Amino acid sequence: MTDVDDRTPAPRPTEMQVRARADALLSRMTVEEKVGQLVQYFSFGPHFTSDGPALQQPDEVEHALARGRTGALLFVTDPAETNRLQRLAIEGSRHGIPALFGFDVVHGLRTIFPVPIAMAASWDPGTVERGQAVAAREARAVGVHLTFAPMLDIARDPRWGRMVEGPGEDPYLASALAAAQVRGFQGDDVGAPDRIIAGPKHFVGYGAALGGRDYDEVDLSESALRNVYLPPFRAAVEAGAGNVMSAYMDLNGIPAGATRRLFTEILREQWGFTGFVVTDADAGRDLVTHGFAADAAEAAARGVGAGVDLEMATTDPAYAHLPEALERGDLDIATVDASVRRILEAKVRLGLFERPFVDERRAAVVLADPAHREEARVAAERSAVLLRNEGGLLPLDPTTLRSVAVLGPLADSRRDTLGPWVFDVDLDETVTVLAGLRGRLDPAVTEVRFAPGIRPARRVFPSMFDVHPGNVPADPEDFDDDAELRRAVSLAAGSDVAVVVLGEWQHMIGEGASRSSLDLPGRQEELLRAVVATGTPVVLVLMNGRPLDLRWAAENVPAILDVWYPGTRGGTAAARLLTGDVSPAGRLPFTWPRSVGQVPLIYSHTRSHSPSAQGVRYWDEASTPLFPFGFGLSYGRFAYSGLTLDRISVRRGESVAVSVTVTNTGNRDADEVAQLYLHQRHGTASRPVRELAGFRRLHVPAGGSRDVVFRLGPAELSYWNAAAGTVVQDRAPFDVWVGGDATAELTTSFVVTG
């Protein structure tokens, strides 16, 4: 049913009009009505079973809407349902205030893009922006106005399962991708019919959880916070993000979600953020759980008092106790008003008062748009990383390949191809690696044979995240483990090449899925070793969202292509990469350790005592990575030359231009990611041995060259200094390296003076 045709854009209000409209509403609202605007309820649809976490029942949600006790919902993505609930919200409010609908549109809604860590591996802000623009278009079409994305938590410990959702280890790369994602979601105007509000999360430091255990406490120095963990959020705010989500854990001994310095001082006063802050799910009440607030009213007062505006709650929201907190004098009404105003302003900017409903027929058309699937395919191609290619095994030649054995438990798993954090998908249109190869190879030339080899690995401890049907792979019936493994190996033995698709099942990664090991789970390595032992050339295709322990594979498997969780068109993309229709050009957005004992392992460490022994810090393992940050191979071959500076001495505040020529000396057209690393030799703090300070993804035809110019200015040459308690730019000599990864050797230097 269509209430209003949402293609007619409402005129964009000026910021003065936004403020005036919010103030006019605010002046007429009771305390209870105001508090209702600060509560966001989950509205779980049929996707979720009732034996999952304690959830509101649908009638509770409807009751709360009809009485103005909530002004925001999350998890509703059916357009008929968003319209129905929206009507209840408007009718339940004396002032006709529409509800705000939020959802985790993390890497797509119906069209699923590669997981965020994969998108980061594209090193391509344009691809990232286009992906989130597609996600926004689909989300807005069904009535979602706010996404809980991008996740911008720097992650340096791959045991932490949520690494898959973020930008990796590096603040410079993460900041570029943060801004791109905000632009993709929001465009120029969140009131436009295909845009939604972006909600960078989790503010801040969540990725540094102790031991990589999800939700565990975090201790971060001011230097780490300012130089590493905050910059991506700042970039998102500068790109105009309309929302920020608080983090669950304690940060330096205080719940992050009640830290006034974060939300009021840094976010609003220092960075000028004008949007609203939402808690993570149930994190309002968590202030009691943390042993911080005595009761729900105090939790609400301390959360809102810190600058948090909206509580995302399952049952019994703490913020519903705000009237009590006001009566007790724990909080003043002006603080509550400021939060309510921010929520109302967001609704005005979104144009919800003019266009609260969606056109359900149009939603169906938007969700089915083939152009979205094409964008997802291209993104999957651009994010895959070629980790090894001994003897040029790849690309495979489809004109001469007579048989290929496609093996492994992930080779034909549609759910796993999509990765975690997807809900409203159509599995039938998801292309697995097996399906992609079948589609790409001519059956008259190449016979494609398939065997999974092993059964899915089981989660050791049950999780609340298993409630979504299909999330946990079904245990196959009548699966004779040894016989299946033998069958897979014999298919390999009788084929020209074996493509073995291994990794982590998607439910092994993501929220609540930290791991104590980085091994290939189950009997996967056993399968891989047995296949390699047949002597048939092997291509390992990896599906993962974090580095895995590939020590054996990196020495014994000739070709390794990491496709991550590549999304709806992942298999099509994988097949095109494997057969050379396109050259892989993704680059690692993190340092790939050899083993779990090395973590955290980062390229941008500082130099300390006995630097010549940096690579031999362990008794039993090299302390170098298996693959460096920024690494990735290509079907092209790249040479860097002519590294020059436009000056060798700059004054503070000035910029230096760094030029280099990138030549593709190979015989295939390919993309390269030119990377610039910087080191300050000495100064008023110890600075990392190398830090990424520029990158450019370029297409270079075979035999062709491209000139690249990087500009290094105060933003790249300054840093937050712990002793000074502020950002400083030292007078110092700097080394520069340019090349294809963090071990680049082509170098030059310059000096910052006066």
Q: Tell the smallest beta-carbon distance from residue 76 to ligand NOJ (Å).
A: 12
Nearer to ligand NOJ, 280 or 730 (CB): 280
Q: Tell the smallest beta-carbon distance from residue 149 to ligand NOJ (Å).
A: 8
Q: Tell the smallest beta-carbon distance from residue 281 to ligand NOJ (Å).
A: 4
Q: Tell the smallest beta-carbon distance from residue 201 to ligand NOJ (Å).
A: 6
93, 32 contact by CB (below 8 A): no
Nearer to ligand NOJ, 249 or 532 (CB): 249
Can you give the C-alpha Rg of the chain in angstroms? Answer: 26
Tokens (6 digits) for 620:
């039993």
> Is residue 148 near ligand NOJ by the rule CB under 6 A?
yes
Exactly one of 138, 157, 280, 360 binds ligand NOJ (CB under 6 A); that residue is 280
Compute the distance between CA of residue 382 and CA of residue 119 in angstroms, rounded to an integer.
8
Short-list 574, 571, 564, 568, CA closest to 426: 568
Short-list 577, 522, 529, CA closest to 553: 529
Compute the distance between CA of residue 124 and CA of residue 120 in angstroms, rounded to an integer.
7
DSSP 143-193: T--EE---B------TTSGGGGGS--S-HHHHHHHHHHHHHHHHTT-TTST
Q: Which of 157, 170, 280, 424 is catalytic?
A: 280
100-103 vs 72-74, strand pairing mode: parallel
Q: Tell the smallest beta-carbon distance from residue 280 to ligand NOJ (Å).
A: 5
Amino acid, single-letter form, for residue 166: G
Exactly one of 281, 287, 433, 540 binds ligand NOJ (CB under 6 A); that residue is 281
Nearer to ligand NOJ, 195 or 202 (CB): 202
Q: Tell the smallest beta-carbon distance from residue 135 to ligand NOJ (Å).
A: 14
Nearer to ligand NOJ, 546 or 687 (CB): 546
Would you tell me how many other CB atoms lie within 10 Å of the CB of residue 702?
15
Compute the distance between CA of residue 681 and CA of residue 672 in angstroms, rounded to an integer.
28
621, 661 contact by CB (below 8 A): no
Q: Tell the smallest beta-carbon distance from residue 467 to ligand NOJ (Å).
A: 12
Nearer to ligand NOJ, 138 or 511 (CB): 511
Q: Which phi and psi (to 5°) does residue 121 adopt?
A: -70, -15
Q: Tell the smallest beta-carbon distance from residue 202 to ligand NOJ (Å).
A: 6
Q: Which of the residues 460 through 519 are near ligand NOJ (CB under 6 A)?
A: 511
Compute the distance between CA of residue 472 and CA of residue 456 in angstroms, rounded to an integer.
9
- 280 as an active site residue: the answer is yes
Provide the residue count of the chain: 754
> Is residue 424 near ligand NOJ by the rule CB under 6 A?
no
212, 514 contact by CB (below 8 A): yes
> Is residue 233 near ligand NOJ by the rule CB under 6 A?
no
Cα torsion through 190, 192, 193, 198, rounded to 10: -20
Exactly one of 107, 201, 388, 569 binds ligand NOJ (CB under 6 A); that residue is 201
Exactly one of 6, 33, 81, 104 binds ligand NOJ (CB under 6 A); that residue is 104
276-278 vs 656-664, strand pairing mode: unpaired
Q: Which phi and psi (to 5°) does residue 280 adopt?
A: -75, 170
Nearer to ligand NOJ, 199 or 566 (CB): 199
Nearer to ligand NOJ, 280 or 691 (CB): 280
Q: Tell the smallest beta-carbon distance from residue 278 to ligand NOJ (Å).
A: 9
394, 670 contact by CB (below 8 A): no
Total of residues contacting ligand NOJ (CB under 6 A): 6
Compute the distance between CA of residue 317 and CA of residue 325 in angstroms, rounded to an integer.
13
DSSP 65-104: HHTTS-SEEES---HHHHHHHHHHHHHHSTT-PPPEEEE-
Nearer to ligand NOJ, 149 or 491 (CB): 149
Q: Which of the residues 313 through 332 are near ligand NOJ (CB under 6 A)?
A: none
Cα torsion through 65, 105, 546, 470, rounded to 10: 70
Q: Which residues bind ligand NOJ (CB under 6 A)?
A: 104, 148, 201, 280-281, 511
Active-site residues, by number, are: 280
